[in-house]
A and B are shown apart, each in its own frame.
Chain A
């Protein structure tokens, strides 16, 4: 026995509402008629029919509408009087089927263009605003004091790249839609019929297209660098998000309830992220020296029995970084690292970042570098042709010649 219903999961942008209508018409021609739009488009089997659908963007509706609300039903009454039957509605989309051969168009092309552009641009503007804030913050950090943290970490560089792609994609979407709106106004005035869809030049949102390769590379990098805990967290995060959205689509709560759910969801996700970060901070940092620290570092033996030792090793297209933090409850702590790069501007940037604070003065001890600065007695920054080495000890006591020699040999020549 053939199934009576089938559900298809497809999404459309406001600027693709004619593609949406055309898709429904092609399904009707195959004998599948749209029944409802909940968790996917639910089609009912029937006789093949040359039906005409109109998918309109109704600006009085809310983004949180999961079903036809009062305003939409009122609007549908007008449309029914003009020969269009309401099939279903979600967000600001309203789907109608032509029920009278003399049905008049619901809106003029100019009005349809304005409504679709207005609603689509609102989404573009929100994404552009979020991406702008993040991209400014990320580049500010990259060009500023967090250069070393980002430049030598492939994951951080990918995050920077991702936000930049999202920003450029959003910006291109906003500009493209503005240009299309302008050109379509002229074309409508010249008598051309508006088509809201890919055939009309309205391609998908730029940031969505830009994000797909970035996300693929980012996910690949996470697998490559064995960031399994992050992958698992992301999968749980996406699973919960998808699950909640599915339930909302399935049970179609009223607009107000949906708005509450959609506002609580990000807060819940943020709390989960916070707990995840807190958990990874406690489990990741408290490492046993003998198990986690390589032999070359153990030779340095800065502090006996440290409370914890944290080692970071990263390498990217800009070079590599080794950072070690030793902490002891009763003894001085040590924070040292080496940055290596074949690019002079990278070495310059690291050197400037490390020496930009006050109180640095030239050091007379022999570190064998091009430049050596010191402060507080036990802090050093040394510049070599392709390396910058820094050593921050909290003891306040200068290092001995033997210790300097050992650090130099171990960190620069290991």
Chain B
């Protein structure tokens, strides 16, 4: 099934996908993002809820368990490819910047 790919990932998107490289309960993602970014990035619950729905719709993440209102997710292969693409893009940005700043 052809799926519309995401454009450049925003910072919260990038960290949410990083957090979901391991199966994780939706409500715990906020804490994971905070820990992964050393407290630099916070994702609001409304933002997270909307993003998970969007990611799931696009096949970037998938639901692994649903106990009552608690749902767990994990990144899909397609999502992993998106994340890797973004990682490589960021690496390119850093490399290009290094030419000027690390002289």
Contact = CB atoms under 8 A, between A and B. Distances in A.
Nearest to A105: B44
Contacts of A75: 45-46, 49
Interface string B20-62: 0000001110110000000000111111111001000000000
Contacts of A112: 46
Contact of B44 (A70, A73, A74, A82): A82
Interface string A81-116: 110100000000000000000001111100110000
Contacts of B30: 78, 81-82, 104
Interface string A43-84: 000000000000010101000000000100111011111101
Contact of B46 (A70, A80, A106): A106
Contacts of B50: 111
A81 B27 contact: yes
B3 interface: no
Contacts of B27: 77-78, 80-81
A41 to B, nearest CB: 23
B70 interface: yes
| Interface size class, chain B | 10 to 19
Interface string A303-334: 00000000000000000000000000000000
Nearest to A57: B46
Contacts of B69: 70, 73-74, 77
B71 interface: yes
Nearest to B42: A104
B47 A111 contact: yes
Contact of A84 (B26, B42, B45, B53): B45
Give the interface centre of B30, B31, B47 by most chain A CB atoms within 10 Å.
B47
A312 to B, nearest CB: 59
Given A70-B69, A111-B47, A111-B50, A78 B42 contact: no
A73 B68 CA distance: 10
A104 B45 CA distance: 8
A77 B46 contact: no
A104 B44 contact: yes
A75 B69 CA distance: 9
A111 B46 contact: yes
Interface in A134-149: none
Nearest to A110: B47
Contacts of B28: 81
A108 B49 CA distance: 12
A106 B31 CA distance: 14
A111 to B, nearest CB: 6
A361 B96 CA distance: 90
A56 B42 CA distance: 19
B71 A56 contact: no
Interface in B48-92: 48-50, 53, 69-71
Contacts of A111: 44, 46-47, 50
Given A78-B27, A81-B27, A107 B44 contact: yes
18 contacts: A70-B69, A73-B69, A74-B69, A75-B45, A75-B46, A77-B27, A77-B70, A78-B46, A78-B48, A80-B27, A81-B27, A81-B31, A82-B45, A104-B42, A104-B44, A105-B44, A107-B47, A112-B46
Nearest 6 A-B pairs (CB), nearest first? A107-B46, A78-B45, A81-B27, A106-B46, A82-B45, A79-B45
Given A70-B69, A107-B46, 13 more contacts: A78-B48, A79-B45, A81-B27, A81-B31, A82-B30, A104-B44, A105-B44, A106-B46, A107-B44, A108-B44, A108-B47, A111-B46, A111-B50
